[in-house]
Chain A
Amino acid sequence: MAYQSLKEITRLCEEEGIPFWRAVLQDDVNERSVSEDESFAAMGKMWETMLSSSENYDPSLMSGSGLVGMDGAKMEEYRKRGDVLVGDFVGKVITQALQMGESNACMKRIVAAPTAGACGVLPAVLVPLYKENAGKGEGTKARAINRERIIEALYVAAGIGQVIAARAFIAGAQGGCQAEVGSASSMAAGALVYLKGGDNEQIVHAAAMAMKNLLGLVCDPVAGLVEVPCVKRNVIGAVNALAAADMALAGIKSRIPPDQVIDAMKEVGESMHVSLRETGEGGVANTPYARELAREIHGKG
């Protein structure tokens, strides 16, 4: 049975003296009747796919509708000029988020995390961090950033996502973008804290702070497509995850217990009007220009 609360995971970790990621791995081993090696290999495949998706970005590609594409390349060019307001590393994160979102819209291969629409958030923070640290081998073992620890961090992310799915939802049609990009950001924040050597409390508080910051975010795709504003929302999911992780690592806590923050996300999602839950009827999808675009794309009124 999947974990129903983050508290359940951290309590189990304390009782058994195991790290957060191992609690999630053990549950997968029980749930799917696989060996630890098989589970780890399957998660490894998710990481390899994120890396190859990142490598395979095509800077000349536009989506079928013509609404998105090539912005990731623009951001990369700008970053290389060396004067990014948020600094070089966050510049790379923004670039990666845009590129992954665009690759998804252009029918390239991605890892849904937790959904295809939010597939850019986790790789946006993990790929640049991995590349900057690859081969350096610096720091203690608990803080090294290598393939093995990235995969462990993906278990942390998956465990957080699983609890969100169990207590609330991860589909825009059910809870708005907060359920997709909000959940992805929460998962990424926890993964980052783990990679930087934070403890289990810091992991769940980072997840909670990331989620809280995106509560209320609506799902309002122009013409009903996973393109506008979805691609750019991956950026805010990623940057927000960095901020939440840094706050948690600084010792800042979510004043509201993490599981209750997830419950709040559910309540907000359920009270969200249906026009703001992936129907393409409200928000930016309902602007006069978006309506015009929808008519052009779908060829009808």
Chain B
Amino acid sequence: MNIFDILGPVMVGPSSSHTAGAVRIGYITRSLLGSRPVMADIGLAGSFAATGKGHGTDKALIAGLLGMKPDDMRIPRSFEIADEEGLSFSFHEIRLAGAHPNTALLNVKGVDGKCLEVQASSLGGGRIMVNQLNSLAVNCTGEKPTLIVYHQDRPGHVTNVTAMLAEPGINIAALNLYREKKGGDAVMIIEVDQDVPADIIRRMEVREGIRKVIYIEGEKT
């Protein structure tokens, strides 16, 4: 933990796990979707379901989906703002066997019609972990700048992508590969130490075998 995990974060109360963490889950889901969400169906599990309402977890998740950060004073009014901005939403309780006590399952639809299912947990102190992207089990915190590269499971794609990062001196902190089945759809989740310029992401996206690239900016103190 760095000293700003101890003194900080600056956040809207009342709970770092149930409020600040929930905002971050909503925010990262919006980033992963890659467009403005217009519909969200959210399942709350465990302690999110039990005490979430009193902690504003529902308002916090919606605030994040609207692009707010944990210190945004508009969080308590997020439901009204969602109405104004054309985001319809619903909540329900779910059971997720084996999941972290503070977990949400978000089914979202973007303004471009694309849909995404994200399962994420709030780990405490405002830190989060994305556990599932559609049907793929993943691990992604969004604390560092992160690239999510959707590609075909074929030789050479990892080399191509890492070479494109190495060229401008971007250092990889962690790289994880996930695939549905051999030769099928796959995802690289790459956490890096430096910001990734937009032109690299554009060039990456048009490479053969790469379907889509999502970039998440890291947390800034």
A residues in contact (CB < 8 Å) with B: 2, 24, 27-28, 31-32, 42-43, 45-46, 49, 63-65, 103-117, 119, 122, 154-155, 157-159, 161-162, 165-166, 170-171, 173, 187, 223-227, 280, 297-298
Contacts and interface: CB of A to CB of B under 8 A. Distances in A.
Contacts of A32: 2, 221
A122 B16 CA distance: 17
A2 B7 contact: no
28 contacts: A28-B2, A32-B221, A43-B3, A45-B10, A46-B10, A63-B14, A65-B54, A106-B14, A107-B13, A107-B14, A107-B59, A109-B11, A111-B7, A111-B8, A111-B10, A112-B9, A112-B11, A112-B126, A116-B19, A155-B3, A158-B4, A159-B3, A162-B3, A165-B6, A166-B1, A187-B6, A225-B54, A226-B14
A224 B1 CA distance: 26
B103 to A, nearest CB: 15
Contact of A223 (B10, B13, B47, B51): B51
A215 to B, nearest CB: 20
B127 to A, nearest CB: 11
Contacts of B2: 2, 28, 31-32
Contact of A280 (B10, B51, B53, B71): B51
Nearest to B50: A224
B6 A162 contact: yes
Contacts of A122: 7
Nearest to B47: A224
A111 B126 CA distance: 12
Given A2-B1, A116-B14, A224 B54 contact: yes
B12 interface: yes
A105 B14 CA distance: 5
A109 B73 contact: yes
A42 B19 contact: no
A179 B51 CA distance: 21
B15 interface: yes
Nearest to A112: B16
Contacts of A27: 3
Contacts of A106: 13-14
Nearest to B53: A298
B1 A162 contact: yes
Contact of A225 (B14, B59, B124): B14
Nearest to A2: B1
B34 interface: no
Nearest to A221: B51
Interface in B48-76: 50-51, 53-56, 59, 71, 73, 75-76
Contact of A110 (B13, B51, B56, B75): B13
Contact of B54 (A64, A103, A159, A171): A64
A158 B3 contact: yes
A123 B10 CA distance: 13
B56 A107 contact: yes
B188 interface: no
A65 B14 CA distance: 12
Contact of B10 (A49, A105, A173): A49
Contacts of B7: 43, 46, 111-114, 122, 154, 157-158, 161
Nearest to B102: A173
Nearest to A297: B54
A169 B135 CA distance: 35
Contacts of B110: none
Contact of A171 (B3, B51, B53, B124): B124
A65 B5 CA distance: 28
A109 B8 contact: no
Contacts of B56: 64, 107
A298 B53 CA distance: 8
A116 B20 contact: yes
Nearest to A63: B14
A298 B50 contact: yes
Contacts of B1: 2, 162, 165-166
B54 A107 contact: no
A301 B51 CA distance: 13
Contacts of A157: 7
Contact of A107 (B12, B51, B124): B12
